[in-house]
């Protein structure tokens, strides 16, 4: 085992509802009414460059420049008070155990790297991670494997030496496409995707899984 790769939103930080609320509010500016929970169910872990064109197309609306949408979306996210970012219960327990075993940790997220850094510092969880990798750094976002392969390369690990921790199906698919094992964090008990290990809380991941 050379590296454990964590998704961020919904795995490290309980931020997916914040993303979906910001995206739903932004879409209303363009006449698109969509429930934040629908955005979460369909697009958790999917980058805005992939999500926005699909939504505008489905609603028959002409999409403005993607750069404009991205700028407005991330402006809303950085305006969120820091105390609204909460860590996902049980995740710190697993991180502490992996740190004791000196297994390198890295983030692979659909969010911008600077925003991931912002959130992790808000919950005092930045230090354990050797690197942050964003889908904005690669040609294809999840469910493509690109972001996971880049994350592994940043810590000098080969794909088969990595385990991915994910809560989004798109990320789970991407992890397997990358040739990595995957732990599915299924907090609601509704995930139908079968990873190598499915848990409701990361504190239940046994140490032996990383041997």
pLDDT tier, 35 (very low <50, low <70, confident <90, very high otherwise): very high
175 in the same domain as 140: yes
- Residue 95 shares a structural domain with residue 116: yes
- Residue 21 host element (H or E): helix 16-28
| Domain identity same for 42 and 74 | yes
- Same domain as 56, residue 143: no
Burial (Cβ within 10 Å: 0-12, 13-18, ≥19) of residue 12: buried
* Spatial distance between the Cα atoms of 201 and 181, rounded to a whole number of angstroms: 18
Whether 144 and 58 map to the same domain: the answer is no
CB 87 within 8 A of CB 123: yes
pLDDT tens for 68-81 read: 999 999 999 999 99
Q: What is the count of structural domains for the chain? A: 2
Instruction: Retrieve residue 111's tokens.
Output: 């969010």
Residue 63: DSSP 8-state = -
Mean pLDDT of the chain: 95
Q: Does the pLDDT at position 1 exceed 80?
A: no
CA distance 121 to 202: 20
Same domain, 131 and 75: no
Tens of pLDDT, residue by residue over 149-201, are 999 999 999 999 999 999 999 999 999 999 999 999 999 888 889 999 999 99
Say yes or no: 109 and 187 in one domain: yes
Q: Residue 65: give its domain's CATH number.
A: 1.10.150
Residues 152 and 92 in one domain: yes
Is 40 found in the same domain as 21?
yes
pTM above 0.75, yes or no: yes
DSSP symbol at 160: G
The pLDDT of residue 16: 87
Domain region containing 106? 3-14+85-210
Q: Is 40 helix (H, G, I), strand (E, B) or coil?
A: helix
Q: Give the strands of the sheet with 105-109, arranged side by side.
A: 129-134, 105-109, 3-6, 162-166, 181-185, 197-199
One domain for residues 98 and 197: yes
Q: Tell me, yes or no, whether 174 and 126 share the same domain.
A: yes
- Pair 71, 106 in one domain: no
Query: Residue 100 sits in a domain of what CATH number?
Result: 3.40.50.1000
The single residue listed with the structure tokens 């991915």 is: 164
């Amino acid at each position: 085992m050379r590296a454990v790769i964590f998704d961020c939103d919904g795995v490290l930080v309980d931020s997916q509802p914040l993303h979906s609320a910001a995206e739903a509010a932004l879409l209303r500016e363009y006449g698109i009414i969509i429930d934040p929970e629908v955005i979460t169910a369909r697009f958790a872990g999917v980058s805005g460059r992939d999500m926005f064109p699909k939504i505008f197309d489905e609603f028959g609306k002409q999409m403005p420049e993607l750069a404009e949408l991205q700028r407005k979306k991330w402006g809303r996210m950085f305006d969120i008070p820091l105390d609204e970012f909460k860590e996902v219960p049980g995740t710190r327990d697993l991180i502490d155990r992996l740190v004791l075993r000196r297994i390198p940790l890295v983030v692979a997220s659909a969010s911008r790297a600077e925003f991931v850094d912002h959130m992790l510092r808000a919950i005092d969880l930045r230090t354990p991670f050797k690197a942050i990798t964003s889908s904005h750094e690669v040609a294809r976002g999840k469910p493509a494997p690109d972001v996971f392969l880049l994350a592994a390369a940043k810590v000098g690990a080969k794909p088969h030496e990595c385990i991915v921790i994910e809560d989004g199906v798109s990320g789970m698919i991407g992890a397997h496409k990358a040739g990595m094992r995957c732990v599915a964090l299924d907090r609601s008990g509704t995930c139908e995707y079968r990873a190598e290990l499915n848990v409701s809380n990361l504190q239940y991941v046994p140490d032996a899984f990383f041997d």
